[in-house]
Each structure stands twice: as C-alpha cells, then as structure tokens.
Amino acid sequence: MSATLVISQLLNGIQLGVLLFLMAAGLTLVFGIMNFVNLAHGSLYMMGAYIAAALVGQGVPFVWAGLGAMAGAALLGFVLERTALAKLYARDHLYQVLATFGLILFFNEVVRYFWGASAVYMDVPAALNGALTFMGINYPFYRFVIIAVGLGVALALYLIIHKTRLGMLIRAGASNADMVGVLGVNIKLLNSAVFALGAGLAGLAGFMAGPILSVQPGMGEPVLILTLVVIVTGGIGSIRGAFLGAIIIGVVDTLGRTFLPIIFSWFLEQSLAQAAGPAVASMLIYLLMAVVLALRPQGLFPVKHG
Amino acid sequence: MKRDRAFWFAAATLAFLALLPVYAALAAQPFYVTLFSRIMVFALAAVGLNLVLGFGGLVSFGHALYIGVGAYSVGILAHHGITNGWVQLVVALAMVALFAAVIGAVVVRTGGMTFIMITLAFAQMGFFLAVSLKQYGGDDGLTIDARSAMGLFDLANNTVLYYVIFASLLLTLYLFHRFINARFGLALRGIKANERRLAALGYPTFRYKLVAYVISAQVCGLAGFWLANLTKFAAPSYMAWTVSGELIVIAVLGGMSSLFGPVIGALVFLLLEEVLSSWKPGIWPAAETLLGNHWLGLIGLFVFTLALFARQGIFGYLAGKKDSAGGH
C-alpha cells in the first residue's frame, strides 16, 4: 500500500464526493423547503448526461454542452414541478415516492427509446485530457476539473444561501413556508426556482460524470441511492450536511473498495479475504449510515433552526 | 364480522383463485397456473408489507430485501445439498427474522422521510451483498436444481405448488385478520394515527413497531421462499429496489386500508404488466412494437397517475367509503 495509491484513491473519493454533493444539494433543498421526496432526481441526472452526450455528439463544444445539460435538466425539473409534482407537496410522502418512482420508470424508457439500451460514450475534450503531476503522482486532469467545479458550486451555493435575498427566502421557506407566503412572497415561484436549481445541479453532475461513467438507461439509480445515504448521514435539509456527508461517503466508499480487500488479506487466508473484502466494502457506507443513525438519528450535521 | 360488500368481493376473488387451476387444465393452458402462482407470491409479499405500510403507517421502500433473503435461503441450502423444504423454510424465516430485527432496530427509530430512505438503502445493501456472493452466482444468480422436498406436498407438480402457495396466502390473511383486530393490531393502528398519544398512554411504541416490522418481513420472506421454488432460481434482482417499489404500488393500487386490498392490487398490477408486455391486437404494428419494447414506460405513467389521483385503492372503492377506516 503505497502513499501514491492512497493519495490518488483519496482524490477519487473526493471527486465522487463532489458529484454526490451536486446531487444531494438539490434533493436536500427540495426536501427542506417543500417537504418533498424526489426519487426522480436520479432521472434528472441521467437526462443531463444524455443531453450533454447528444450535444457533444453533434459537435457542440464541451463547456456549452455542459451548460445545455444544466439548462435542459433545470427546464425539465421546472416543467415537472409546475405541471404535476407541486400538487403532491401537501400529500403524504408515500404518494410522492410512488409518483417519482413512476417517473423513473418512464424516463428510463424515454432514453431507451431515443438512444437505445446500450451505453452512449462521451469523450473528454483534448484540452481537459491528459494527466497532471501532483505531489509525485499522475492524476487525470479531468478529475481535477470535476473537483474544482464541485467545490466552486459548493462555495457559490453557500454564498447564495447566506448572503443573498434569494438565499434568505430559501432559509425562511425551510423553517416556515406558510409564514413566508403570508408575508407576501410568491412561495410557488420560490418552490419552482429551488426545484429547477436542484434539477440543474443534477444535470451538471450527470454531464460531468458522463465521460467517466457510461451514459446508459438506469444510470441515475445507483447515484440516487448513494445520494439518499449522503443526505440521511449528513442530516436531511442541510446544505452543510449534504456537503460534508457527500465527501465522507465518497471517500469512505472509494477507500473501502480499494483497501478493505488488501487489509483483509493481512488477517485472513487468501480465498476468504477475496470473498469477504469486496462484500464488506460494498456494504461499508450502509454500515456507516446505520451506525450514524443509531447514535444520531437526525444525522451528523443537522439543520440548526432558530 | 359483518358480511358486507367487501367480504363478498374478497370471497369471490379467493373462489376464483381456488378454481383457476381447474380452468387452466380444462382450457389446456398450464401457463396460467405459473402466472397466477407468481401473482399470489406478490400478493403474499404485498399483504406482508401492508401490515407496516397500511396499518402501521411506516412507508418501507425496502421489503424486497426479505423476498431476497427468503429466496437465497432456499438457494444456498439447496446448493449445499440440503433440499428438505421444512428445514429450508425454518432457516429462511429465521434468517429473515434476524435481518429484520437488526435492520428494524435501526430504522424503526426514525420516521417519515428518513424511514423511506434508509429502508431503501438497507435493501440496496442486501442487493450488493448478494451480488458480491461470487460462490453463489454473484450477479447472475443461483440456479436451484430441484424444488424443496416437503414430504406430502410434491412441489415438483406446478398445481400442487399453486395450491400450497394459495393455502399459505389464505393462512396469512386469516392470521393477519386476527392480528390486526387484536389488542396488538389496535395499538399498531393507534400508532399510525397518533404515535405520541399512544406513547403517552404508556404503550412502548418502539417495540410495537419493531415487532410489526419483523412479522411483516417474515411474510415477505415466505413469499421469497415460494418465489425461489416457483422459478427454481434466486437472484439479486429479487431484491432490486424496483421490486420494493412495485410492492408499494400493489398495496396502494389495491387499497392499503384493508387487509385484502393488496391481493386485488397484485392481480390487477401483474396482469396489467402481462397484458402490456405481450399485447398484440394486430391493428397498428408500429405502436405494437413501441409498446412491446417500452411497456415499462407506460407502467411508469400508470404509477405516476395512480399516485396523483388514487385515494383508497380499488378494493377500498369497491368496498365503499364507509370501510376506509381499516379492517375488513
């Protein structure tokens, strides 16, 4: 186990973490303000990846394709929220889960219809390709870009939420939406804006993950489930919790998959270690979540109201 | 029990299920026996889920996990040469009880949104555990050579298997009927209505919810036991998160406030899937190809519409509004 392996895996973990944060930010805001559980958030991520892949395939420059993916996902989120999902805010969580579950099945078929069942590939442009030498290790430049963009978005979200009027309304909406409405704020428009913002971030995550993972139907579900683990571990409704939770889950998952089999092989015999290592590694974040919930049911970094 | 419309409707459905193999034999359509065996397996699982979903108000998005645990108990034991069905059944139920007690002890502490998300996450953990069991087929699943040997019941015969599943569904419905009308069931429904009040009255609500969760998981484990026997196969896909979602759809579609609703839900939903995936009216070939390849999209829209407009489910509607308070 060399230091370079540890550092490059740590970077991989942070890179997964920032992607998860982009997903978790939207999901946790939508939950915090509208009290709505949106399982179709993974579908918005998938649509972002497909829109970007289609645009890049048409020869659109990479960055513009990314903006297109964000705008497309945000628009889709806005339309869904306005036409249907807003009706479910007042309903039981059960019906929200059911409706968005239906949407996942629907969107998976939509992309299968337009792009087929097999994976679509999206290349990193030459400018972002190649490796960067960093602390004596070679690390893909594109992954650095993902980390930088993710951290930039995190900073921007922090500033929006804590320093702007919109952010003030968002925070007010999270603690008492009815009161904000009574005070004359167009709460419906605020809800739609938050939903579209979250959808756009999911689209951005899908676009950036596109060249690393394969773009295919159903690609949103594994990410969605990791995102749920993130916001439950971090504390539902809190952006800070989403960020720290995402980095923790990303790093723990990545390091676990690489190093648990190695660590197990020190203590166990070969065949057992080979069987147990990957099995425990794949369950590691869920075990972490279980421990967190058993000790702190409200998550590690819950929202502080007051 | 008042013999109302709901009662007669449930009785008619059960009579239909009891007579189906006779019809299948007369019409020389043995396929129906397998199809309806599968429907009853999902009905059983949804009835189990509905104990916590409809009566306890706990929205579990992870009950497919217990179907998987039940199925893998059969598969793994059979893989090691233990084909005695009674042993397999006891092991399956014990394993499900163990999983459900440990997971339940964590999840039942939470509620609402968190409960939904972590039941889903735990089921996903089980899914990845099954995928990583390379010696038991991993991703591809585990083929079971022969159905469980259960003494008097020759499960190799599809019709016998059908009636055994039917009997276990009847038994579960009867026991649940007794259960939810007993003191325990009243307390469970009270917790759904107002947990704080029940706690103030001195009920240990955590223990009530945990026991209900474990019993509900047991029934799903039983369904998994039958599913493994029906398909002679155990695979990670049995505990895919979509299966958990389908179980909720079945319960909501049929009607969550009644014991029998999920049975109707399973009949309607699985028949709908069957019809949509193989419908060939021969009118418009292009539309048929589209439907044949993408019928899941239509199911998705159906589920979406159901969530927007469904209030009491098919059985609740048939039984009339007065029955919507629960019980049957």
pLDDT tens, B275-303?
888 776 666 666 667 777 788 888 888 88
pLDDT number for residue A304: 66
Query: Mutual orientation of helices A93-115 and A41-57 as an angle, nearest 10°?
Result: 20
List the single residue in B248, B300, B305 with the smallest CB-CB distance to A105. B300
Give chain B positions within 8 Å (CB) of A105: 242, 296-297, 299-300, 303
> A210-221 pLDDT, tens per residue?
888 888 888 888
Higher pLDDT pick, A124 / B23: B23
Chain A residues with CB under 8 Å of B297 CB are 105-106, 108-110, 113
Binary contact (A96, B249; C-beta < 8 A): no
The burial of B324, by beta-carbon neighbours within 10 Å (0-12 exposed, 13-18 middle, 19 or more buried), is given as: middle
Q: What is the mean pLDDT of chain A?
A: 87
Q: Out of A99, A101, A282, whose CB is closest to B308?
A: A99
Give the residue from chain B lying closest to A99, CA to CA. Answer: B304
Percent of the residues in chain B that have a pLDDT greater than 70, as a whole number: 93
Please return the burial class of A163, using the count of CB atoms within 10 Å of its CB with bins 0-12, 13-18 and 19+: exposed
Q: Which residues of A47-57 are buried (b: 16+ CB within 10 A; e: fewer)?
A: bbbbbbbbbbe
What is the per-residue pLDDT for A250? 93
- Residue B322 pLDDT > 50, yes or no? no
Question: What confidence category does residue A253 fall into, taking pLDDT thresholds of 50, 70 and 90?
Answer: very high
pLDDT at B310 over 90: no
> Of B8, B208, B238, B228, which Cα lies nearest the Cα of B123?
B238
Residues 162-221 of B with CB under 8 A from A: none
pTM of the model: 0.88
Distance of alpha carbon B23 from alpha carbon B13, whole angstroms: 15
Q: Which of A98, A112, A294 sits opposite B307 (nearest CB)?
A: A98
B window 25-44, beta carbon within 8 A of A: none
Q: What is the pLDDT of residue B285?
A: 67
A121 touches chain B (CB under 8 A): no
Q: Establish if B76 touches chain A: CB-CB under 8 angstroms.
A: no
- Choose among B106, B113, B129: nearest Cβ to A93: B113
Q: Alpha carbon of A151 to those of A138, A223, B227, B290: distances in Å? A: 21, 19, 47, 43
> Which of A115, A225, A253 is the best residue to mutate to test the B interface, defined by the most B CB atoms within 10 Å of its own CB?
A225
Position A7 scores a pLDDT of: 85
Evaluated on CA atoms B57, B61, B64, B70, the torsion sign reads negative
Looking at the partner chain, which of B113, B128, B303 has a beta carbon nearest the beta carbon of A102?
B303
Residue B221, phi then psi, degrees to nearest 5: -60, -40
Task: Say whether pLDDT at A306 is over 60.
Answer: no
pLDDT in tens, B160-184: 999 999 999 999 999 999 998 899 8
Flag whether pLDDT at A268 surpasses 80.
no
Give residue B176's pLDDT. Answer: 93
CB < 8 Å & 24+ apart, contacts of A61-68: A61/A125, A62/A124, A62/A125, A62/A128, A65/A207, A66/A204, A66/A207, A66/A208
Tell if the CB–CB gap between B117 and A37 is shorter than 8 Å.
Answer: yes
Q: What is the mean pLDDT of chain B?
A: 87
CB contacts, 8 Å: B124 with chain A = 225, 286
Residues 241-300 of B with CB under 8 A from A: 241-242, 245, 248-249, 252, 290, 293-294, 296-297, 299-300
The ipTM of this complex is 0.85
- The reported pLDDT for the residue numbered B73 is 93
> Which among B229, B242, B258 has a CA at the least distance from the CA of B328?
B258
Q: In A, which residues are within 8 Å of B108 by CB distance?
A: none
* Chain B residues within 8 A of A297 when measuring between CB atoms: 109-110, 114
- How would residue A259 be classed by pLDDT, with cut points 50, 70 and 90? confident
Segment of A75-84, A184-193, A207-216, A294-303 carrying the highest mean pLDDT? A75-84
Q: In chain B, pLDDT over 90 holds for what percent of residues?
A: 39
The tokens for A263 are 């660590």
Does the beta-carbon distance from A228 to B117 stay under 8 Å?
yes
CB B119 within 8 A of CB A233: no
Contact: B61, A228; criterion CB under 8 Å: no
Tokens of A247: 């980095």
Check whether B133 has a pLDDT greater than 80.
yes
CA distance A183 to B303: 37
**pLDDT for position B327:** 41
